Structure 1
């Protein structure tokens, strides 16, 4: 037992010596490591955020416990580059920040340390940030525009969608205001599919660019280059005026008076309990006989027309206005530039007025105003009245018409080779010509008519395996000024026999209106102005002359009916209309 205790005591002494030696070694290592003094760490920057930009970035963080901090440093490029920012502590919690400029476009690993006056530093804080530049800029593009619709001063721009991951924010438009003549700016956010501008100056150019931020918190905004665009006004299609003849369609009304569809009314014109301009289904501006006065009443439509010469015609049912014979009553048919008519008192002197006629029952029931536009123009066209206080006045109208005079050479696509709107392997249909169903007698990639690809000529042809043409009409509609005209047709080939045959009839015709008379009625119809019955025995150049004494809408072309099962053709080299 004594021997065991002695051995155990010796073992404990050995362990104690080992422990003492180990501690001595550690103290020596610590003295070496702390030579020159104790290590002091400053407080690290907390809540660090980095905001990207164009060839720069902005870094921000906070310190809240260490009053000894006098600066902080941001390192990048593996500490090859850095920036030092002095710090003056003023609050328990201070926000520290720095802009780092002149950085190349790249992704950066940043190291942030704080320091005190003795250059003791904090432990590092690492954060990654991306800097943007020309590479990102070169990927940007303007938001695609689907359409521009300009009606008067109202511009609607429709946009397509974009990839939102590009950082697109919206589009900026610069335009000239029609109200102030100054350059205005309009912003369209990316989630808006359309821009609506109500004061755009027609005929002017607008500039637009698209705005981006590569990241939502970026400190810099990127822009595409400006692009310019001149919107073309949306033209009003013929017949230009809506709801313009008896019976007029009623928008709303009472037991007698109503308001017509498609017309603009100022408040003064709505004199019959909030309704105006209709008596039943007849257009009527009326005062007296228990109805209120009409003072500066205006009823009109607004249109946008291309350059050209126009005729505004009105057929009056009845009126008791007396023109200049009674200066207390004034009624006008007016055409004026802009989105509304001038006041009644200014019709004859306004610079906006293009044409007017003062209504006078002594002048008959038909009025005609002609005017010329040098460029695409917004117009207001209608009627306006002011009656003598308490006087009974009426202006009842059957119809309004607006037509553009056709310009020389009048007929379009009127000489070989003819342009085709559709075609098959042989037969086709020429552009700009109106065809009734009977003229579309060839089934060749759909219905075709009035063109033969074999001869490359205008052609009304039946037989030889093709269906009959019975009352086939092919023509154009023109609106002509008064004068004498010559209609010349050069025939390429025909086998029609004129009056030598009875069952076959082919005519070149000019007739008043919007269509040709039926073949059977050409020679007797009131609307026929001139005709020539086709006969192969005659000269191939056919000349027809006619005179009109007033602006007239005419149909001009050719028409045929062939004998049952007989092969007939009428091939035309050219059509020509000339005013003498």
Structure 2
């Protein structure tokens, strides 16, 4: 086919001339267009911003990118809002081949498209880098709610204030709650509670004061700004008194599972760190204040079932206590009715004898109230530092009477 066309052209000189003129005119037209395009010189492209990433923020974004190793770059420009807004970032020699981070303030909330160019000193620019990011503002802020408190109280036995929190939907971006409170020394403190934690314990909270709290949000995983809910305030009512456990401060071998200083390798013994009077040693005149019972050591009074009765059986510890109000408690009690049994505190290095306790003791109570209870408490007050003997006393006939004590506790009582 091609050969036929050429043959016809050469046989018809006029057609050949016309074809040659057409080709020549087309070539000239292309050349003129090229000259017009490069009339100011050859096109000069420079390196573009590389590895660009846009991080969201509050009424702003952060743009991160690598300045390429092109030494001609002197400036970077970021355009948005259909190129109506822009930011100029001067580029120094020290920034070449390095990563830049720049914040771009944007009033409009929502998604934004960005076009980024780099320029040389002559105004030549790179090919465009197109990217996008998102800003958050008042509309997002208005939808944030504070985390709710389910309970807040000060424990009267420890002085520790606990605050319990409801959970929240993690899809909201919530990640923590900050609480600010007043400490016992009247100084302010702020602590952060992760959203996965449902309770916080404040050991130094000023009783009866308030906490202020706000919840923290990140709207997405690449946000550079944290958003906060409005601040809420919660009054935490102080208890009427504090009951602080000081057992380990003043008493030894307080149970459960009392240890023994000696025993018969079977059941009976002497409880360690406690004074056992002769009247309490009714097991072969040797043992009697300790019993190994159901796999655990207990303080014990027992009369009957083959054991003689006990008279002025005293089991106590002698300690020095500062001025204050105290509660001495016997717990895990197993006992029946009969005889005379006291829980008591007396001044000096010994408990009074059983008959003298009602008149000589600083304070006393019935050890075996009826009906029987698992705990018996004795509250007493000292006006100055005092040496006291604190414990138990009993006189019981051999009629199958007994008292077993699982543990003891000593508390200070502080009125608030």
State the match for 1:317 in structure 2: 341
Structure 2: which 5+ runs fail to align? 242-254, 260-266, 277-288, 304-312, 331-338, 366-376, 395-402, 409-416
State the match for 2:118 in structure 1: 114
Q: Which residue among 151, 154, 157 is the counterpart of 2:155?
A: 151
For the 8 Å contact 1:252–1:258, the answer to whether it is kept is: no
Residue 252 of structure 1 and its aligned partner are, at CA, apart by: 3.1
SS in 2 for 1:118: coil
Residues 160-559 of structure 1: matches in 2 within 5 Å?
A: 160-178=166-184, 180-232=185-237, 251-253=256-258, 255-256=267-268, 278-280=299-301, 286-287=315-316, 294-296=318-320, 300=328, 317=341, 323=346, 327-329=348-350, 361=357, 363=359, 382=379, 395-396=392-393
Residue 69 of structure 1 and its aligned partner are, at CA, apart by: 0.7
More helix by share: 2
TM-score (norm 2): 0.62
Is 2:75 the partner of 1:71?
yes
1:182/1:316 CA distance change after superposition, 3 Å: farther
State the match for 1:89 in structure 2: 93
The alignment of Structure 1 onto Structure 2 pairs a total of residues equal to: 315
How many Å separate the matches in 2 of 1:394 and 1:85?
Answer: 82
How many Å separate the matches in 1 of 2:6 and 2:129?
Answer: 59
Task: Determine which structure has greater relative contact order: mean sequence separation of CA pairs < 8 Å that are 6+ residues apart, divided by chain length.
Answer: 2
For the 8 Å contact 2:275–2:315, the answer to whether it is kept is: no
How many Å separate the matches in 2 of 1:270 and 1:130?
Answer: 77
1:191/1:257 CA distance change after superposition, 3 Å: farther
Residue 116 of structure 1 and its aligned partner are, at CA, apart by: 0.9
1:9/1:294 CA distance change after superposition, 3 Å: farther
Residue 34 of structure 1 and its aligned partner are, at CA, apart by: 1.1
Is 2:82 the partner of 1:61?
no
Residue 199 of structure 1 and its aligned partner are, at CA, apart by: 2.6
Residue 86 of structure 1 and its aligned partner are, at CA, apart by: 0.5
Q: Tell me the alpha carbon deviations over residues 246-304 of structure 1, each in whole angstroms, 9 at most, x when there is no partner.
A: xxxx9435745799xxxxxxx9779999999832589x9725xxxxx6435997359xx
SS in 2 for 1:252: coil
For the 8 Å contact 1:258–1:277, the answer to whether it is kept is: no
Q: CA RMSD in A?
A: 4.5
Q: Which residue among 47, 54, 60 is the counterpart of 2:51?
A: 47
SS in 2 for 1:135: helix
TM-score (norm 1): 0.46
